[in-house]
Structure 1
Amino acid sequence: MQNLADQDMRRFGAVNWMGLWTLAQRETLRFLAVWTQTLLAPLVTAGLFLLIFNIAVGPGRPDVMGVPFLTFLAPGIMMMTVIQNAFANTSSSMVISKVQGNIVDTLMPPLSPLEILLGYLAGGIARGVLIALMLAAALALGLGLMPQHPALALVFVILGGAFMGALGLLAGVFANKFDQMAAITNFIVTPLAFLSGTFYSVDALPPLLNRISHVNPVFYLIDGLRYGMIGVSDSNPMLGMAVCLLSTLLICAVIWQMLRTGYRLKA
Protein backbone atom coordinates (compact mmCIF):
# COMPACT_ATOMS: atom_id res chain seq x y z
CA MET A 1 0.00 0.00 0.00
CA GLN A 2 2.84 2.36 0.83
CA ASN A 3 4.42 1.74 -2.57
CA LEU A 4 1.14 2.54 -4.31
CA ALA A 5 0.78 5.71 -2.28
CA ASP A 6 4.33 6.76 -3.13
CA GLN A 7 3.66 6.05 -6.80
CA ASP A 8 0.46 8.14 -6.74
CA MET A 9 2.33 11.00 -5.10
CA ARG A 10 5.05 10.85 -7.71
CA ARG A 11 2.38 10.66 -10.42
CA PHE A 12 0.32 13.58 -9.10
CA GLY A 13 0.85 16.76 -11.06
CA ALA A 14 3.16 15.09 -13.56
CA VAL A 15 2.60 13.99 -17.14
CA ASN A 16 3.02 10.37 -18.18
CA TRP A 17 4.96 11.30 -21.31
CA MET A 18 5.68 7.70 -22.27
CA GLY A 19 2.03 6.71 -21.97
CA LEU A 20 0.86 9.80 -23.82
CA TRP A 21 3.37 9.23 -26.61
CA THR A 22 2.38 5.57 -26.88
CA LEU A 23 -1.33 6.39 -27.18
CA ALA A 24 -0.66 9.14 -29.73
CA GLN A 25 1.58 6.78 -31.69
CA ARG A 26 -1.12 4.09 -31.64
CA GLU A 27 -3.74 6.52 -32.96
CA THR A 28 -1.38 7.72 -35.69
CA LEU A 29 -0.19 4.29 -36.80
CA ARG A 30 -3.81 3.13 -36.85
CA PHE A 31 -4.66 5.35 -39.82
CA LEU A 32 -1.24 5.08 -41.46
CA ALA A 33 -1.66 1.31 -41.66
CA VAL A 34 -4.58 1.80 -44.05
CA TRP A 35 -3.31 4.94 -45.77
CA THR A 36 -5.13 4.21 -49.04
CA GLN A 37 -8.42 4.61 -47.18
CA THR A 38 -7.47 7.33 -44.71
CA LEU A 39 -5.16 9.55 -46.79
CA LEU A 40 -5.41 8.71 -50.48
CA ALA A 41 -9.20 8.33 -50.64
CA PRO A 42 -9.90 11.82 -49.15
CA LEU A 43 -7.41 13.31 -51.60
CA VAL A 44 -9.23 11.70 -54.53
CA THR A 45 -12.62 12.81 -53.17
CA ALA A 46 -11.46 16.42 -52.82
CA GLY A 47 -10.10 16.33 -56.37
CA LEU A 48 -13.43 15.01 -57.66
CA PHE A 49 -15.28 17.82 -55.88
CA LEU A 50 -13.10 20.42 -57.59
CA LEU A 51 -13.38 18.69 -60.97
CA ILE A 52 -17.16 18.37 -60.81
CA PHE A 53 -17.66 21.97 -59.74
CA ASN A 54 -15.30 23.15 -62.47
CA ILE A 55 -17.25 21.19 -65.10
CA ALA A 56 -20.71 22.09 -63.75
CA VAL A 57 -20.06 25.79 -63.16
CA GLY A 58 -17.60 26.35 -65.98
CA PRO A 59 -15.09 29.10 -66.53
CA GLY A 60 -17.87 31.64 -67.09
CA ARG A 61 -18.73 31.79 -63.39
CA PRO A 62 -18.18 35.31 -61.98
CA ASP A 63 -15.40 35.82 -59.50
CA VAL A 64 -16.20 35.40 -55.82
CA MET A 65 -14.72 38.02 -53.47
CA GLY A 66 -12.43 39.09 -56.32
CA VAL A 67 -10.91 35.66 -57.01
CA PRO A 68 -11.82 32.92 -59.54
CA PHE A 69 -14.51 30.57 -58.26
CA LEU A 70 -12.26 27.49 -58.30
CA THR A 71 -9.58 29.34 -56.33
CA PHE A 72 -12.24 30.45 -53.82
CA LEU A 73 -13.60 26.91 -53.57
CA ALA A 74 -10.29 25.07 -53.04
CA PRO A 75 -9.58 26.13 -49.40
CA GLY A 76 -13.16 25.27 -48.42
CA ILE A 77 -12.82 21.79 -49.90
CA MET A 78 -9.48 21.40 -48.13
CA MET A 79 -10.85 22.31 -44.69
CA MET A 80 -13.97 20.21 -45.21
CA THR A 81 -11.76 17.20 -45.96
CA VAL A 82 -9.54 17.91 -42.94
CA ILE A 83 -12.38 18.17 -40.43
CA GLN A 84 -14.28 15.16 -41.75
CA ASN A 85 -11.22 12.95 -41.45
CA ALA A 86 -10.18 14.29 -38.03
CA PHE A 87 -13.70 13.53 -36.80
CA ALA A 88 -13.63 10.06 -38.36
CA ASN A 89 -10.26 9.23 -36.80
CA THR A 90 -11.19 9.84 -33.16
CA SER A 91 -14.83 8.73 -33.36
CA SER A 92 -14.10 5.45 -35.14
CA SER A 93 -11.25 4.60 -32.78
CA MET A 94 -13.41 5.12 -29.70
CA VAL A 95 -16.50 3.35 -31.05
CA ILE A 96 -14.54 0.35 -32.34
CA SER A 97 -12.85 -0.01 -28.94
CA LYS A 98 -16.22 0.09 -27.18
CA VAL A 99 -17.93 -2.33 -29.57
CA GLN A 100 -15.04 -4.80 -29.49
CA GLY A 101 -14.76 -4.49 -25.72
CA ASN A 102 -11.07 -3.51 -25.66
CA ILE A 103 -11.62 0.04 -24.41
CA VAL A 104 -10.28 -1.33 -21.11
CA ASP A 105 -6.83 -1.44 -22.73
CA THR A 106 -6.93 2.35 -22.88
CA LEU A 107 -8.56 2.94 -19.50
CA MET A 108 -6.42 0.61 -17.38
CA PRO A 109 -2.90 2.04 -18.03
CA PRO A 110 -1.74 4.87 -15.74
CA LEU A 111 -3.09 7.60 -18.00
CA SER A 112 -5.01 10.60 -16.69
CA PRO A 113 -8.22 11.74 -18.45
CA LEU A 114 -6.30 14.66 -19.94
CA GLU A 115 -3.57 12.37 -21.29
CA ILE A 116 -6.16 10.07 -22.88
CA LEU A 117 -7.85 13.09 -24.44
CA LEU A 118 -4.58 14.48 -25.82
CA GLY A 119 -3.51 11.07 -27.13
CA TYR A 120 -6.68 10.65 -29.15
CA LEU A 121 -6.56 14.25 -30.39
CA ALA A 122 -2.97 13.78 -31.56
CA GLY A 123 -4.10 11.10 -34.01
CA GLY A 124 -6.95 13.23 -35.37
CA ILE A 125 -4.75 16.30 -35.77
CA ALA A 126 -1.97 14.28 -37.41
CA ARG A 127 -4.39 12.83 -39.96
CA GLY A 128 -5.86 16.26 -40.69
CA VAL A 129 -2.47 17.92 -41.12
CA LEU A 130 -1.16 15.17 -43.42
CA ILE A 131 -4.25 15.42 -45.62
CA ALA A 132 -3.95 19.23 -45.71
CA LEU A 133 -0.29 19.04 -46.76
CA MET A 134 -1.10 16.54 -49.51
CA LEU A 135 -3.96 18.71 -50.78
CA ALA A 136 -1.81 21.86 -50.61
CA ALA A 137 0.83 20.14 -52.76
CA ALA A 138 -1.83 18.97 -55.22
CA LEU A 139 -3.33 22.48 -55.45
CA ALA A 140 0.10 23.99 -56.01
CA LEU A 141 0.77 21.57 -58.86
CA GLY A 142 -2.72 21.56 -60.36
CA LEU A 143 -3.92 25.15 -59.88
CA GLY A 144 -0.69 26.97 -59.09
CA LEU A 145 -2.29 27.94 -55.77
CA MET A 146 0.34 28.88 -53.20
CA PRO A 147 -0.60 29.86 -49.61
CA GLN A 148 -0.58 33.60 -49.05
CA HIS A 149 -0.12 33.20 -45.30
CA PRO A 150 1.22 29.66 -44.77
CA ALA A 151 1.73 29.91 -41.00
CA LEU A 152 -1.83 31.11 -40.46
CA ALA A 153 -3.15 28.41 -42.78
CA LEU A 154 -1.32 25.75 -40.75
CA VAL A 155 -2.73 27.15 -37.51
CA PHE A 156 -6.28 26.84 -38.81
CA VAL A 157 -5.63 23.32 -40.10
CA ILE A 158 -4.41 22.32 -36.62
CA LEU A 159 -7.40 24.06 -35.03
CA GLY A 160 -9.73 22.27 -37.45
CA GLY A 161 -8.19 18.91 -36.62
CA ALA A 162 -8.39 19.64 -32.88
CA PHE A 163 -11.98 20.92 -32.95
CA MET A 164 -13.43 18.11 -35.03
CA GLY A 165 -11.16 15.53 -33.42
CA ALA A 166 -12.58 16.59 -30.04
CA LEU A 167 -16.12 16.52 -31.43
CA GLY A 168 -15.45 13.05 -32.84
CA LEU A 169 -14.19 11.83 -29.47
CA LEU A 170 -17.27 13.29 -27.80
CA ALA A 171 -19.49 11.48 -30.30
CA GLY A 172 -17.49 8.29 -29.86
CA VAL A 173 -17.90 8.37 -26.08
CA PHE A 174 -21.63 9.00 -26.41
CA ALA A 175 -22.33 6.40 -29.13
CA ASN A 176 -22.46 2.74 -28.20
CA LYS A 177 -23.27 1.43 -31.69
CA PHE A 178 -22.23 2.19 -35.24
CA ASP A 179 -25.74 3.29 -36.24
CA GLN A 180 -25.68 5.92 -33.48
CA MET A 181 -22.38 7.22 -34.86
CA ALA A 182 -23.82 7.25 -38.40
CA ALA A 183 -26.74 9.35 -37.17
CA ILE A 184 -24.38 11.86 -35.52
CA THR A 185 -22.32 12.07 -38.71
CA ASN A 186 -25.31 12.49 -41.01
CA PHE A 187 -27.35 14.93 -38.95
CA ILE A 188 -24.66 16.99 -37.21
CA VAL A 189 -21.23 16.76 -38.81
CA THR A 190 -22.26 16.85 -42.49
CA PRO A 191 -24.57 19.89 -42.10
CA LEU A 192 -21.89 21.71 -40.11
CA ALA A 193 -19.38 21.08 -42.91
CA PHE A 194 -21.61 21.86 -45.88
CA LEU A 195 -23.54 24.85 -44.47
CA SER A 196 -20.51 26.87 -43.48
CA GLY A 197 -19.36 28.75 -46.55
CA THR A 198 -17.52 25.85 -48.15
CA PHE A 199 -19.05 26.45 -51.58
CA TYR A 200 -20.17 30.08 -51.27
CA SER A 201 -19.55 33.36 -49.50
CA VAL A 202 -21.88 33.79 -46.54
CA ASP A 203 -22.32 37.44 -47.57
CA ALA A 204 -24.56 36.12 -50.35
CA LEU A 205 -26.97 34.58 -47.82
CA PRO A 206 -30.14 36.22 -46.48
CA PRO A 207 -29.58 38.09 -43.20
CA LEU A 208 -31.01 35.34 -40.97
CA LEU A 209 -28.93 32.56 -42.55
CA ASN A 210 -25.89 34.84 -42.47
CA ARG A 211 -26.25 35.29 -38.71
CA ILE A 212 -26.77 31.56 -38.21
CA SER A 213 -23.60 30.83 -40.21
CA HIS A 214 -21.60 33.10 -37.90
CA VAL A 215 -22.57 30.88 -34.95
CA ASN A 216 -21.06 27.83 -36.65
CA PRO A 217 -17.39 27.32 -35.62
CA VAL A 218 -16.75 25.43 -38.87
CA PHE A 219 -17.49 28.63 -40.78
CA TYR A 220 -14.55 30.30 -39.02
CA LEU A 221 -12.30 27.32 -39.74
CA ILE A 222 -13.06 27.46 -43.45
CA ASP A 223 -12.92 31.24 -43.55
CA GLY A 224 -9.60 31.31 -41.70
CA LEU A 225 -8.00 28.73 -43.97
CA ARG A 226 -9.34 30.61 -46.99
CA TYR A 227 -7.58 33.73 -45.77
CA GLY A 228 -4.39 31.77 -45.17
CA MET A 229 -4.52 30.24 -48.64
CA ILE A 230 -5.79 33.06 -50.89
CA GLY A 231 -5.82 36.17 -48.70
CA VAL A 232 -9.60 36.84 -48.66
CA SER A 233 -12.19 36.11 -45.99
CA ASP A 234 -15.72 36.94 -44.84
CA SER A 235 -14.65 37.71 -41.26
CA ASN A 236 -11.62 38.71 -39.22
CA PRO A 237 -9.27 35.69 -39.04
CA MET A 238 -8.23 36.59 -35.49
CA LEU A 239 -11.87 36.52 -34.38
CA GLY A 240 -12.26 33.16 -36.10
CA MET A 241 -9.17 31.81 -34.35
CA ALA A 242 -10.54 32.88 -30.96
CA VAL A 243 -13.96 31.33 -31.64
CA CYS A 244 -12.43 28.03 -32.79
CA LEU A 245 -10.03 27.87 -29.86
CA LEU A 246 -12.75 28.55 -27.29
CA SER A 247 -15.10 26.04 -28.94
CA THR A 248 -12.38 23.38 -28.89
CA LEU A 249 -11.56 24.03 -25.23
CA LEU A 250 -15.24 23.83 -24.31
CA ILE A 251 -15.67 20.45 -26.01
CA CYS A 252 -12.42 19.19 -24.49
CA ALA A 253 -13.68 20.17 -21.04
CA VAL A 254 -16.85 18.11 -21.58
CA ILE A 255 -14.82 15.11 -22.79
CA TRP A 256 -12.41 15.41 -19.86
CA GLN A 257 -15.36 15.19 -17.47
CA MET A 258 -16.71 12.15 -19.33
CA LEU A 259 -13.35 10.41 -19.17
CA ARG A 260 -12.88 11.33 -15.53
CA THR A 261 -16.23 9.83 -14.51
CA GLY A 262 -16.19 6.93 -16.99
CA TYR A 263 -19.45 8.08 -18.58
CA ARG A 264 -20.64 5.43 -21.08
CA LEU A 265 -17.19 3.84 -20.89
CA LYS A 266 -17.28 1.73 -17.75
CA ALA A 267 -19.90 -0.98 -17.26
Structure 2
Amino acid sequence: MTDHARHEGSPVTAAMGSRRFGRVNWLGLATLAERETRRFMAVWTQTIMAPLVTAGLFLLIFSIAIGPTRGDVMGVPFTTFIAPGILMMTVIQNAFANTSSSIVISKVQGNIVDTLMPPLSAGELVLGYLAGGVGRGLLVAVAIWLGLWVFLGIGLAHPMWALCFVLLGAAFLSGIGIVAGIFANKFDQMAAITNFIVTPLAFLSGTFYSVEALPPVLYTVTHFNPIFYLIDGARYGVIGVSDSDPLLGLSVGATATLVICLTAWRMLATGYRLKA
Protein backbone atom coordinates (compact mmCIF):
# COMPACT_ATOMS: atom_id res chain seq x y z
CA MET A 1 0.00 0.00 0.00
CA THR A 2 1.36 3.40 -0.94
CA ASP A 3 1.86 6.21 1.53
CA HIS A 4 -0.89 8.12 -0.28
CA ALA A 5 -3.33 5.22 0.12
CA ARG A 6 -2.44 4.79 3.78
CA HIS A 7 -2.96 8.52 4.31
CA GLU A 8 -6.33 8.51 2.57
CA GLY A 9 -7.48 5.62 4.75
CA SER A 10 -6.42 7.13 8.04
CA PRO A 11 -9.09 8.03 10.64
CA VAL A 12 -8.18 11.73 10.49
CA THR A 13 -8.62 11.88 6.73
CA ALA A 14 -11.85 9.90 6.91
CA ALA A 15 -13.20 12.31 9.48
CA MET A 16 -12.24 15.29 7.34
CA GLY A 17 -13.84 13.70 4.31
CA SER A 18 -17.06 13.01 6.15
CA ARG A 19 -17.19 16.65 7.27
CA ARG A 20 -16.89 17.74 3.65
CA PHE A 21 -20.10 15.85 2.94
CA GLY A 22 -21.99 17.78 5.59
CA ARG A 23 -21.76 15.75 8.79
CA VAL A 24 -22.22 17.91 11.88
CA ASN A 25 -19.60 18.21 14.60
CA TRP A 26 -22.16 17.78 17.39
CA LEU A 27 -19.56 17.77 20.19
CA GLY A 28 -17.96 20.98 18.98
CA LEU A 29 -21.33 22.63 18.43
CA ALA A 30 -22.54 21.65 21.89
CA THR A 31 -19.28 22.86 23.45
CA LEU A 32 -19.56 26.28 21.77
CA ALA A 33 -23.22 26.57 22.77
CA GLU A 34 -22.32 25.65 26.35
CA ARG A 35 -19.52 28.20 26.42
CA GLU A 36 -21.84 30.95 25.20
CA THR A 37 -24.45 29.96 27.78
CA ARG A 38 -21.91 29.87 30.60
CA ARG A 39 -20.76 33.35 29.59
CA PHE A 40 -24.03 35.03 30.46
CA MET A 41 -24.97 32.73 33.32
CA ALA A 42 -21.69 33.54 35.09
CA VAL A 43 -22.90 37.14 35.44
CA TRP A 44 -26.64 36.46 35.74
CA THR A 45 -27.22 39.58 37.84
CA GLN A 46 -26.09 41.64 34.86
CA THR A 47 -27.59 39.54 32.05
CA ILE A 48 -30.88 38.38 33.62
CA MET A 49 -31.71 40.52 36.64
CA ALA A 50 -30.64 43.87 35.17
CA PRO A 51 -32.98 43.58 32.15
CA LEU A 52 -35.82 42.63 34.49
CA VAL A 53 -35.23 45.77 36.55
CA THR A 54 -34.95 47.93 33.41
CA ALA A 55 -38.21 46.56 32.01
CA GLY A 56 -39.91 47.21 35.35
CA LEU A 57 -38.67 50.81 35.37
CA PHE A 58 -39.97 51.37 31.84
CA LEU A 59 -43.40 50.11 32.85
CA LEU A 60 -43.41 52.15 36.05
CA ILE A 61 -42.36 55.40 34.39
CA PHE A 62 -44.79 55.11 31.48
CA SER A 63 -47.61 54.07 33.80
CA ILE A 64 -47.08 57.08 36.05
CA ALA A 65 -46.32 59.65 33.35
CA ILE A 66 -48.76 58.62 30.62
CA GLY A 67 -50.98 55.80 31.83
CA PRO A 68 -53.58 57.80 33.80
CA THR A 69 -54.31 60.16 30.88
CA ARG A 70 -53.70 57.88 27.90
CA GLY A 71 -56.78 55.72 28.14
CA ASP A 72 -57.18 52.38 26.40
CA VAL A 73 -55.22 51.38 23.30
CA MET A 74 -56.88 48.87 21.00
CA GLY A 75 -59.35 48.07 23.78
CA VAL A 76 -56.79 47.33 26.52
CA PRO A 77 -55.26 49.56 29.24
CA PHE A 78 -52.15 51.45 28.14
CA THR A 79 -49.86 49.66 30.61
CA THR A 80 -51.13 46.28 29.45
CA PHE A 81 -50.63 47.32 25.82
CA ILE A 82 -46.96 48.34 26.19
CA ALA A 83 -45.96 45.45 28.48
CA PRO A 84 -45.43 42.85 25.69
CA GLY A 85 -43.53 45.41 23.61
CA ILE A 86 -41.18 46.12 26.48
CA LEU A 87 -40.74 42.38 27.00
CA MET A 88 -39.78 41.79 23.36
CA MET A 89 -37.61 44.90 23.18
CA THR A 90 -35.63 43.68 26.17
CA VAL A 91 -35.33 40.18 24.70
CA ILE A 92 -33.92 41.36 21.38
CA GLN A 93 -31.52 43.83 22.99
CA ASN A 94 -30.08 41.11 25.20
CA ALA A 95 -29.88 38.55 22.40
CA PHE A 96 -27.97 41.09 20.30
CA ALA A 97 -25.66 41.97 23.17
CA ASN A 98 -24.83 38.34 23.87
CA THR A 99 -23.49 37.42 20.44
CA SER A 100 -21.99 40.78 19.52
CA SER A 101 -20.11 41.20 22.80
CA SER A 102 -18.78 37.64 22.69
CA ILE A 103 -17.22 38.11 19.26
CA VAL A 104 -15.95 41.68 19.78
CA ILE A 105 -14.35 40.83 23.13
CA SER A 106 -12.62 37.83 21.55
CA LYS A 107 -11.34 40.00 18.68
CA VAL A 108 -10.09 42.76 20.98
CA GLN A 109 -8.41 40.30 23.34
CA GLY A 110 -6.91 38.42 20.42
CA ASN A 111 -8.35 35.00 21.33
CA ILE A 112 -10.91 34.74 18.52
CA VAL A 113 -8.51 32.18 17.04
CA ASP A 114 -9.50 29.78 19.84
CA THR A 115 -12.99 29.71 18.32
CA LEU A 116 -11.93 29.65 14.67
CA MET A 117 -9.26 26.93 14.86
CA PRO A 118 -11.35 23.97 16.13
CA PRO A 119 -12.98 21.79 13.42
CA LEU A 120 -16.21 23.77 13.33
CA SER A 121 -17.83 24.80 10.06
CA ALA A 122 -19.23 28.30 9.52
CA GLY A 123 -22.75 26.94 9.98
CA GLU A 124 -21.82 25.28 13.27
CA LEU A 125 -20.26 28.52 14.51
CA VAL A 126 -23.44 30.42 13.65
CA LEU A 127 -25.61 27.85 15.44
CA GLY A 128 -23.35 27.82 18.49
CA TYR A 129 -23.45 31.59 18.88
CA LEU A 130 -27.19 31.63 18.20
CA ALA A 131 -27.75 29.10 20.98
CA GLY A 132 -26.24 31.46 23.54
CA GLY A 133 -28.16 34.50 22.32
CA VAL A 134 -31.49 32.67 22.08
CA GLY A 135 -30.97 31.07 25.48
CA ARG A 136 -30.33 34.44 27.10
CA GLY A 137 -33.29 36.00 25.31
CA LEU A 138 -35.62 33.20 26.39
CA LEU A 139 -34.54 33.43 30.04
CA VAL A 140 -35.05 37.20 29.99
CA ALA A 141 -38.51 36.71 28.45
CA VAL A 142 -39.54 34.21 31.13
CA ALA A 143 -38.25 36.45 33.93
CA ILE A 144 -40.10 39.52 32.63
CA TRP A 145 -43.31 37.63 31.92
CA LEU A 146 -43.32 36.21 35.45
CA GLY A 147 -43.04 39.78 36.72
CA LEU A 148 -45.92 40.87 34.48
CA TRP A 149 -48.03 37.96 35.68
CA VAL A 150 -47.33 38.54 39.37
CA PHE A 151 -47.64 42.33 39.47
CA LEU A 152 -50.03 43.12 36.59
CA GLY A 153 -51.93 39.87 36.20
CA ILE A 154 -50.96 39.60 32.51
CA GLY A 155 -51.05 35.98 31.36
CA LEU A 156 -50.58 34.51 27.90
CA ALA A 157 -53.47 34.80 25.45
CA HIS A 158 -51.74 32.57 22.88
CA PRO A 159 -48.75 30.79 24.49
CA MET A 160 -47.42 29.11 21.33
CA TRP A 161 -47.53 32.34 19.35
CA ALA A 162 -45.73 34.13 22.16
CA LEU A 163 -43.05 31.42 22.30
CA CYS A 164 -42.57 31.44 18.51
CA PHE A 165 -42.10 35.20 18.32
CA VAL A 166 -39.78 35.33 21.33
CA LEU A 167 -37.57 32.59 19.85
CA LEU A 168 -37.69 34.20 16.41
CA GLY A 169 -36.88 37.65 17.77
CA ALA A 170 -33.98 36.33 19.83
CA ALA A 171 -32.62 34.40 16.82
CA PHE A 172 -32.95 37.41 14.50
CA LEU A 173 -31.11 39.80 16.81
CA SER A 174 -28.55 37.14 17.73
CA GLY A 175 -27.81 36.86 14.01
CA ILE A 176 -27.48 40.63 13.71
CA GLY A 177 -25.19 40.50 16.74
CA ILE A 178 -22.92 37.99 14.97
CA VAL A 179 -22.75 40.18 11.86
CA ALA A 180 -22.10 43.31 13.93
CA GLY A 181 -19.50 41.55 16.06
CA ILE A 182 -17.61 40.38 12.97
CA PHE A 183 -17.80 43.83 11.37
CA ALA A 184 -16.70 45.79 14.46
CA ASN A 185 -13.05 45.74 15.44
CA LYS A 186 -13.37 48.06 18.43
CA PHE A 187 -15.85 48.67 21.21
CA ASP A 188 -16.70 52.15 19.95
CA GLN A 189 -17.70 50.69 16.58
CA MET A 190 -20.00 48.24 18.35
CA ALA A 191 -21.43 51.07 20.47
CA ALA A 192 -22.19 53.01 17.28
CA ILE A 193 -24.05 50.05 15.78
CA THR A 194 -26.03 49.60 18.98
CA ASN A 195 -26.89 53.27 19.44
CA PHE A 196 -27.63 54.23 15.84
CA ILE A 197 -29.12 51.04 14.41
CA VAL A 198 -30.36 48.51 16.95
CA THR A 199 -31.83 50.87 19.56
CA PRO A 200 -33.76 53.08 17.07
CA LEU A 201 -35.16 50.03 15.29
CA ALA A 202 -36.33 48.63 18.63
CA PHE A 203 -37.84 51.87 19.93
CA LEU A 204 -39.49 52.91 16.64
CA SER A 205 -41.35 49.66 16.08
CA GLY A 206 -44.58 50.03 18.00
CA THR A 207 -43.13 49.20 21.40
CA PHE A 208 -44.88 52.07 23.16
CA TYR A 209 -47.69 52.87 20.72
CA SER A 210 -50.01 51.47 18.10
CA VAL A 211 -48.79 52.15 14.57
CA GLU A 212 -52.35 53.05 13.63
CA ALA A 213 -51.74 56.39 15.35
CA LEU A 214 -48.77 57.24 13.10
CA PRO A 215 -48.85 59.63 10.12
CA PRO A 216 -49.09 57.85 6.75
CA VAL A 217 -45.37 58.17 5.92
CA LEU A 218 -44.18 56.80 9.27
CA TYR A 219 -46.87 54.12 9.12
CA THR A 220 -45.48 52.89 5.80
CA VAL A 221 -41.85 53.09 6.95
CA THR A 222 -42.62 51.13 10.12
CA HIS A 223 -43.92 48.21 8.08
CA PHE A 224 -40.47 47.83 6.51
CA ASN A 225 -38.98 47.25 9.96
CA PRO A 226 -38.84 43.49 10.77
CA ILE A 227 -38.68 44.25 14.49
CA PHE A 228 -42.15 45.80 14.27
CA TYR A 229 -43.59 42.42 13.28
CA LEU A 230 -41.71 40.67 16.09
CA ILE A 231 -42.98 43.08 18.74
CA ASP A 232 -46.48 43.07 17.27
CA GLY A 233 -46.47 39.25 17.20
CA ALA A 234 -45.33 39.07 20.80
CA ARG A 235 -48.13 41.45 21.76
CA TYR A 236 -50.62 39.15 20.05
CA GLY A 237 -49.22 36.14 21.88
CA VAL A 238 -49.32 37.83 25.29
CA ILE A 239 -52.51 39.93 25.27
CA GLY A 240 -54.27 38.83 22.08
CA VAL A 241 -54.24 42.14 20.14
CA SER A 242 -52.03 43.23 17.25
CA ASP A 243 -51.69 45.80 14.49
CA SER A 244 -50.97 43.22 11.78
CA ASP A 245 -51.70 39.59 10.93
CA PRO A 246 -49.53 37.30 13.13
CA LEU A 247 -48.99 34.96 10.17
CA LEU A 248 -47.55 37.86 8.16
CA GLY A 249 -45.35 38.76 11.11
CA LEU A 250 -44.15 35.18 11.40
CA SER A 251 -43.30 35.08 7.69
CA VAL A 252 -41.44 38.40 7.75
CA GLY A 253 -39.57 37.47 10.93
CA ALA A 254 -38.57 34.04 9.62
CA THR A 255 -37.39 35.49 6.29
CA ALA A 256 -35.37 38.25 7.98
CA THR A 257 -33.81 35.72 10.37
CA LEU A 258 -32.86 33.41 7.50
CA VAL A 259 -31.28 36.28 5.55
CA ILE A 260 -29.23 37.56 8.48
CA CYS A 261 -28.08 34.07 9.47
CA LEU A 262 -26.98 33.36 5.90
CA THR A 263 -25.09 36.65 5.95
CA ALA A 264 -23.38 35.66 9.20
CA TRP A 265 -22.56 32.25 7.73
CA ARG A 266 -21.00 33.83 4.65
CA MET A 267 -18.88 36.22 6.74
CA LEU A 268 -17.59 33.36 8.88
CA ALA A 269 -17.02 31.10 5.88
CA THR A 270 -14.89 33.71 4.11
CA GLY A 271 -13.14 34.95 7.26
CA TYR A 272 -14.34 38.50 6.68
CA ARG A 273 -12.54 40.83 9.14
CA LEU A 274 -11.47 37.77 11.12
CA LYS A 275 -8.32 36.72 9.31
CA ALA A 276 -5.23 38.84 9.75
Q: Same fold (TM over 0.5)?
A: yes
Cα deviation 1:137-190 (Å, max 9, x = unaligned):
110000000010011101100001000000011000000000000000010001
Cα deviation 1:42-96 (Å, max 9, x = unaligned):
0000000000011101423210000000000100000000000000000000000
Hey, what does 2:19 align to over in structure 1? 11
Hey, what does 1:210 align to over in structure 2? 219
Instruction: Return the offset for 1:5.
Output: 2.8
What's the secondary structure of 1:59's corresponding residue? Answer: helix
Instruction: Return the offset for 1:9.
Output: 1.4
Hey, what does 1:151 align to over in structure 2? 160
Regions of 4+ moved over 4 Å: none
**TM-score computed with the length of structure 2 as normaliser:** 0.95
Task: State the structure with more CA Rg.
Answer: 2
1:45-194 equivalence runs, <5 A: 45-194=54-203
Q: Distance in 2 between matches of 1:204 and 1:228?
A: 21
What's the secondary structure of 1:265's corresponding residue? Answer: coil
Question: Within the alignment, does 1:220 sit opposite 2:229 as a pair?
Answer: yes
Identity %: 69
Q: Distance in 1 between matches of 2:263 and 2:251?
A: 19
What's the secondary structure of 1:55's corresponding residue? Answer: helix
What's the secondary structure of 2:129's corresponding residue? Answer: helix
Q: Distance in 2 between matches of 1:18 and 1:237?
A: 36
Cα deviation 1:192-221 (Å, max 9, x = unaligned):
000000000001001110010000000000
Corresponding residue to 1:236 among 245, 249, 270: 245
Q: Which amino acid aligns with 1:145?
A: I
Instruction: Return the offset for 1:10.
Output: 2.3
Q: Distance in 1 between matches of 2:67 and 2:173?
A: 32
1:247-266 equivalence runs, <5 A: 247-266=256-275
Instruction: Return the offset for 1:31.
Output: 0.2
Hey, what does 2:4 align to over in structure 1? none
1:6-45 equivalence runs, <5 A: 6-12=14-20, 13-45=22-54
Q: Distance in 1 between matches of 2:127 and 2:216?
A: 39
Q: Distance in 1 between matches of 2:70 and 2:209?
A: 12
Contact 2:67/2:79 (8 A) holds in 1: no
Q: Distance in 1 between matches of 2:17 and 2:28?
A: 17
Which ranges of structure 1 fall in alignment gaps of 5 or more residues?
Answer: none
Q: Distance in 1 between matches of 2:72 and 2:233?
A: 19
Instruction: Return the offset for 1:11.
Output: 2.2
What's the secondary structure of 1:54's corresponding residue? Answer: helix
Q: Distance in 2 between matches of 1:83 and 1:91?
A: 12
Q: Distance in 1 between matches of 2:181 and 2:195?
A: 14
